[in-house]
Amino acid sequence: MTKLDAKTPQGPLSEKWTHYKNHQKLVNPANKRRLDVIVVGTGLAGASAAASLGELGFRVLNFCIQDSPRRAHSIAAQGGINAAKNYQNDGDSVYRLFYDTIKGGDYRAREANVYRLAEVSNNIIDQCVAQGVPFAREYGGLLDNRSFGGAQVSRTFYAKGQTGQQLLLGAYSALSRQVHQGSVKLYTRYEMLDLVLIKDANGLERARGIIARNLVTGKIERFAAHAVVIASGGYGNAFFLSTNAMNSNGSAAMQCYRKGALFANPAFAQIHPTCIPVHGEFQSKLTLMSESLRNDGRIWVPKKLEDAQAIREGQLKPTQIAEEDRDYYLERRYPAFGNLVPRDVASRAAKERCDAGFGVNNTGLAVYLDFSDAINRLGLKTVEARYGNLFQMYEKITADNPYETPMMIFPAIHYTMGGIWVDYELMTTIPGLFAIGEANFSDHGANRLGASALMQGLADGYFVLPYTIQNYLSDQIQVPRFSVDLPEFAETEKALEDKIATLMSIKGKRSVDSIHKELGHIMWDHVGMGRTKESLETALVLLQALKKEFWSNLFIPGEPNTLNVELEKALRLADFIEIGQLMALDGLNRNESCGGHFREEYQTPDGEALRDDEQYSYASCWKYKGEDQQPELVKESLDYEFVVRQQRNYKA
Amino acid sequence: MEKEINIHVKVWRQKGPKAKGKFETYHLDRISGDTSFLEMLDILNEQLVSKGQEPIAFDNDCREGICGMCSLYINGHPHGPDNLITTCQLHMRHFKDGETITIEPWRSAAFPVIRDLMVDRRAFDKIIQAGGYVSVNTGGVPDANTIPIPKPVADEAMDAASCIGCGACVAACKNGSAMLFVSAKVSQLALLPQGKIESKTRAKAMIAQMDALGFGNCTNTRACELECPKGVSISHIARLNREFLKAKLSN
C-alpha cells in the first residue's frame, strides 16, 4: 500500500512557508556549480525556474519542443495575473486571495500550498515590473487592476489582452540572460520521450536524466542530471479540440507516471465558458475569448424557445430580440457574482440553457456575450481601449463585428487542474523528480480561477522551486556527474527505439489526426461537462477499442530518423488515449460533483454541484501497475485545518 | 455557412537544409470560407497521408496569432494578403474560387530552411541573448508601484513589446534586415525606467549580434512595418538608432 506524505510544515498557516525557508537545507555557491538540473518546458513555470536556477549558479539544461522558448503556450493567456497587492484599497489580502482560490477550487486543494501561492503572488508582480513587463497603468502612473471571476475585489494585473505574452517574454528575457552567461543550455526542437531512473547506493531509484528526440534530425539523445523538473503543461488536447496549442501534450507527465510518479485528479479539467463556437469537422483548435470580457459583457440567450429557433434558422438576428425577451441567465441565477461567476459555474449554466433548447448559432451550441450595454454606458472608445484586440481577433475568425452584434461563445476545454502529484516541495513520489506549473496537480483543486494559472506558473518557477529543490540537492553534492553511457540510459533508449519501430511498422490505414479526432469526440461526449456513471463506463469501453485501433491501424509516413511530424503526433496520441482512460476512471471513482467535475447524479435541487466531503475529501492519485492493468488508487487525505468548507455560493 | 471554393495550392517542397527545393501544385475542392489557412493545409496533409505521401512540414502552434511560430510567404506577402494578422488567423474567405495560392517559406540567409516551409529562426533568440533584457535576478526588487510610469510611456512600451518574434519583418525586407525586431525590444526597454540603465549597451550588443548573424541593413523601405502582424511601428527603429548613436558617442 503506497502512502503519501505531503510534507506540509507544521504551525499556523501564515507561518508555514517562512518556517520552511528558515529551516530548509541549502547548497553553497561552490557546490551549486557542480549540480545539474534538467528543466523540461519553457513556459512560465519552466522558463522562470530555469532562469532562477541559473542565476543561483546551478547548471541547467532547458528543453522545449518549439523553435524558441518564447513560443510556449503560456504566451496565449490573455486576461491577467492575480496578486494580493490590495493596490485598489478594496479589501484584498493574502488571506482573501488564498480563501477565494480554495473556495474556487471547491475545497479540493491543499491549504498550505494555496496559502503559499497567495503569499508569493505579490513578489511576482514586483519581479515582472523590474524585468520591464509593460503592465497597464493608471493616468497617475501606478499599476491598474481589473476584476476576474470568483472574486469580489479587483486584483488582476494585465497587459492589454496579452498578459501571458508579456509575462512569458519577461521570463524568456531572464532565461536568455542566463543562456548568455552560460549557466543555462537551451535545447530547442527537442522532445522528452522518457525519464531515466538510477538506483543510489541504498537501492533508492532517483530521477537522473531524460531521453529526448531531436525533432529536426530524429536522433534520440541522452541527458543526465542530478534532478529533473517537469514543466510541460497540461493535457487538455486529449479532447482534440481545446484552447491549447497544437503541440501541447501530456506525454512528459505520462512518462513520469509510467516510471512510478503518481497522477493526481486526472478528471479535474477546466471547461472555459467563453470560447468561439465550433464551426465544422475540419476545425483544428478552439480560440478563447478572455474572461476579462465578462467584466463588461452580459451573457444571455432568448427567453422564448421560438425566438431561439428562429435565430438558429437565420430568420431572426440577436439585435432584434427585445430587452424583455432576453434571459441574462447568470445575472438571474447568481445575483451576487452575476456574469463573473467562476468558469465551471458559467460553463455549466451555458450547457443547461443549450440543452433546454435556448442555444443560438446554427448548431444551437452557443450563447451571446453582449457589449451593447457597455458601449452605451462607457462609450465606444473606452470599450475599444479595453477589449479592442480581442474584438479584432473575434472578427478575423468569425467575420462578425462584436461592436454591432453580440459575440457568440460556447464552453471548451482550456486547462487541466489534475497532473503529476507533488508534495509541498513540488517533488513527485520519485526522488529528484519535480513538477511545476500546469503539469502538477497542486494548487487549483477541482477548478481554477481566472488569472491564477499565470500566478501559479511563476510562483512555482521564481519563488518556490528554487528554494525547495535545494532541500533535495543538498544531499547530492557528493554525487559526481553521471555518464549517459550507464546501462539505465541504454535500456531506456532501447525501449523507446522499439516503441518507435513498432509504431512505424503498423502501416495501417488511419492518420494520427483521424484517430485523435475520434478520441476528442469520445472525451467530449462522455467525459465532458456533464458526466454520469453510464457515460464514463461507456467511455472506458470506447477508449479501449480506440487504443486497439491505434496500435493496429495507424499509418505514419516517412522515416523515424529524420524530421517526422506525424511520428511526433503519434507518440503524443498514444499517451492522450491513456490519459483519457485515466480521466474516465478517476471520474467514475469520484461519486460527487466538485468544480470542473460534474457528475449529473450529484447535484442540488437547483442544479449546483453537490460535493461529498465525508467520502471524497481527498486527492485521487493513480499509480501505474503495468500495461493494461488497472492502476492503484492512492488517496491523499485533504484535512482542512483553517477553512470551514461550505457549499460554494455565488448567489448571495 | 460561408461559401465553398476550389483552389490550387503551389507549395515549396524541400527535403532538408541542403537539398534542392521545388514547387509542387496540389488541388483542393470544396474548402469552406470559415476554414483557416492552416486548417486548409491540414486538409491537404490528410490527403497526402491517405495516399501514403509525406505531409508538408510547416511550423505552427497556438493558432491564435500570439506564439509567433507560424510563418509562410503567401502570394508574395508574409502571413498572407490580410493585414495585422498571422497566417494562423487568415481564413479562406479571403481567396477566390479557382485561385492558385503560392506558399513559400521565409526567405532569408539568417533563417535557413529546415524542411518545406519550416525555417530555423534561432538567430532571433541569439539576438535577445546578446542583451534583450534588464539585468535583474529573481528576488530583491522594489515594490511594483515604487516607480510611477506615465501611462502614455507604458502604453508605447506595450506597443513595442507586442512583437511576437515571427520573422515576417525579415522576410518582407529586401535586405533581410532584422531592425524592426531588434528595435521593438530596444525601444520597449529604453522607454521604461527599469530598462533605461542599460539602454546604450543593450542597443550596441544587439546590433552587433544582428550584424554577426548575417541580417542585412535597414534602408527605410518600410516593408517590415506594412507586413508586421502586430503593427509594430518603424518609429521604434528611429529610437534604436538614437540609442545606438548615444552608445557610439559615449565611447
Q: What is the CATH number of the domain that holds B198?
A: 1.10.1060.10
Å between A618 CA and nearest CA of chain B? 34
CA distance A316 to A296: 25
Q: B242 exposed, middle or buried (CB, 10 Å; 0-12, 13-18, 19+)?
A: middle
Supply A387's cell numbers.
Answer: 477589449
Instruction: Give the pLDDT score at A315.
Output: 96
Q: Provide the shortest C-alpha distance from residue B220 to chain A (in Å).
A: 27
| Known catalytic membership, residue A343 | yes
Task: Please tell me the predicted confidence (pLDDT) of residue B2.
Answer: 61
Contact state of A134 with B85 under an 8 Å Cβ cutoff: no
Chain B, 137-196: which have a CB under 8 Å from a chain A CB? 137-139, 141-145, 148-151, 154-155, 157-158, 161-162, 164-165, 188-189, 192, 194-195
Q: Which of residues 42-101 of B touch A (CB under 8 A)?
A: 42-43, 46, 48-50, 52-55, 57, 59-69, 82, 84-85, 89, 91, 93
Identify the three-state secondary structure at position B23: strand
Collapse the DSSP code of A130 into the 3-class scheme (helix H, G, I; strand E, B; otherwise coil) and give the result: helix
- pLDDT recorded at residue A651: 83
Reply yes or no on whether the pLDDT at B11 is more than 80: yes
Residue B104: all three cell numbers together: 513559400
Q: What is the mean pLDDT of residues A170-181?
A: 98
Which residues in chain A have their CB less than 8 angstroms from residue B67's CB? 66, 70-73, 75-76, 245
How much of chain A, in percent, has pLDDT values that exceed 90?
92
- Same-domain pairing of B65 and B24: yes
Contacts of residue A288 in chain B, CB cutoff 8 Å? 64
- Identify the structural domains of chain A with CATH numbers, from first to last: 274-411 (3.90.700.10), 487-619 (1.20.58.100)
The beta-strand segments (E) located in chain B are 4-13, 22-32, 73-74, 77-78, 100-104, 113-115, 118-119
**Contact partners, residue A450, CB within 8 Å, separation at least 6:** A79, A80, A148, A149, A150, A156, A291, A292, A342, A343
For the segment A473-479, the average pLDDT, to the nearest whole number, is 96
Residue B238 shares a structural domain with residue B127? yes
Number of domains in chain B: 2
Q: Of B114, B138, B155, which marks where a domain is finished?
A: B114
Query: What is the torsional sign of CA A551, A553, A556, A557?
Result: positive
Give the span between the Cα atoms of A184 and B125, in whole angstroms: 13
Grid cell, residue B27, equals 488541388
Contact B247, B203 (CB under 8 A): yes
- Among A587, A650, A652, residue whose Cα is nearest residue A349: A650
Whether A393 sits inside 8 A of B89 (CB atoms) is yes
Asked whether residue B105 falls in the same domain as residue B134, the answer is no
As beta bridge partners, residue A223 has A210
**pLDDT reading at A224 higher than 90:** yes
The tally of CA atoms less than 13 A away on the side-chain side of residue A483 is: 4
Average pLDDT over residues B64-92: 96
- Read off the pLDDT of each residue in A504-511 and give the average, rounded to a whole number: 97
B142 and B83 assigned to the same domain? no
- Of B93, B114, B135, which residue constitutes the final position of a domain? B114
Contacts of A246 in chain B (CB under 8 A): 60-63
pLDDT for residue A617 is more than 90 = yes
In sequence order, what DSSP letters do the residues of A448-466 get, joined into one string? Answer: PPTT-HHHHHHIIIIIIHH
- Determine the 3-state secondary structure of A208 from DSSP: strand
**A298-306 mean pLDDT:** 97
On whether both B208 and B140 belong to a single domain, the answer is yes
SS3 A417: coil
Residue A91's pLDDT band, with cuts at 50, 70 and 90, is very high
Asked if B193 and B74 sit in the same domain, the reply is no
Q: Searching chain B, which residue's CA lies closest to the CA of residue A120?
A: B139
Within A399-486, residue ranges assigned H as helices are 453-458, 465-473
Q: Is the pLDDT of residue A247 over 60?
A: yes
Q: How far apart are the first and last CA of chain A?
A: 44
pLDDT at A635: 98
End-to-end CA separation in angstroms for chain B: 63
- Cα distance between residue B90 and residue B139, in whole Å: 42
Residue B185 and residue B78 share a domain: no
Given the residues A110, A208, A326, A343, select the one marked as catalytic. Answer: A343
pLDDT at A216: 98
> pLDDT at residue A487 above 80?
yes
Same domain, yes or no, for B148 and B240?
A: yes
* Per-residue pLDDT reduced to its tens digit, B137-196: 999 999 999 999 999 999 999 999 999 999 999 999 999 999 999 999 999 999 999 999
Q: Please tell me which of the candidates B32, B129, B151 has its beta carbon nearest to residue A137.
A: B151
Tell me which chain A residues have a C-beta less than 8 angstroms from the C-beta of B133.
131-132, 173-174, 176-177
Mean pLDDT in residue range A393-420: 95
At CB < 8 A and 24+ separation, what contacts does A24-30 make?
A24/A467, A24/A468, A24/A470, A24/A471, A25/A470, A25/A471, A25/A474, A25/A475, A26/A470, A26/A474, A27/A470, A27/A473, A27/A474, A27/A477, A29/A57
Q: What cell numbers appear for A125 in the block?
A: 508582480
Task: Give the Cβ contact number of residue A650 at 10 Å.
Answer: 21
What are the DSSP calls for A28-70, one per residue? -HHHHTT-EEEEE--SHHHHHHHHHHHHHT-EEEEE-SSSSGG
The dihedral region occupied by A89, where left means phi > 0, alpha psi between -120 and 50, and beta the remainder, is left
pLDDT at A279: 84
**CA–CA distance, A621 with A264 (Å, rounded to integer):** 4
**Quick one: cell of B41?**
493545409
DSSP designation for B56:
P
Contact B37, B78 (CB under 8 A): no
Q: What is the pLDDT of residue A1?
A: 65
HSE value, Cβ hemisphere, 13 Å, CA-based, for A643: 28
Average pLDDT over residues A229-249: 97
What are the phi and psi torsion angles at A477 (to 5°)?
-65, -20
Is residue A485 scored above 80 in pLDDT? Answer: yes
Whether residues B135 and B235 share a domain: the answer is yes
Rounded percentage of chain B residues whose pLDDT exceeds 70 = 99
Query: Do B158 and B235 belong to one domain?
Result: yes
CB A275 within 8 A of CB A414: yes
* Domain C-terminal end among B66, B90, B114: B114
Residues of the domain holding B34: 4-114
The pLDDT tens digits for A625-644 are 999 999 999 999 999 999 99
Q: Is a pLDDT exceeding 90 seen at residue A150?
A: no
DSSP letters spanning A173-206: HHHHHHHHHTSEEEETTEEEEEEEEEE-TTS-EE
The pLDDT tens digits of the residues spanning A538-588 come to: 999 999 999 999 999 999 999 999 999 999 999 999 999 999 999 999 999
What is the predicted ipTM? Answer: 0.98
Helix (H) or strand (E) holding A588: helix A565-589
Query: CA A322 to CA A98: how far, in whole Å?
Result: 42
Length of chain B: 251
B150 and B41 in a common domain: no
Q: What is the CATH number of the domain that holds B50?
A: 3.10.20.30
- For residues A601-610, give the mean pLDDT: 92
**H/E/C letters for each residue in A236-274?**
HHHHCCCCCCCCCCCHHHHHHHHCCCCEECCCCEEEEEE
**CA dist., res. A216 & res. A440, Å (int):** 29
Q: Are residues B173 and B57 in the same domain?
A: no
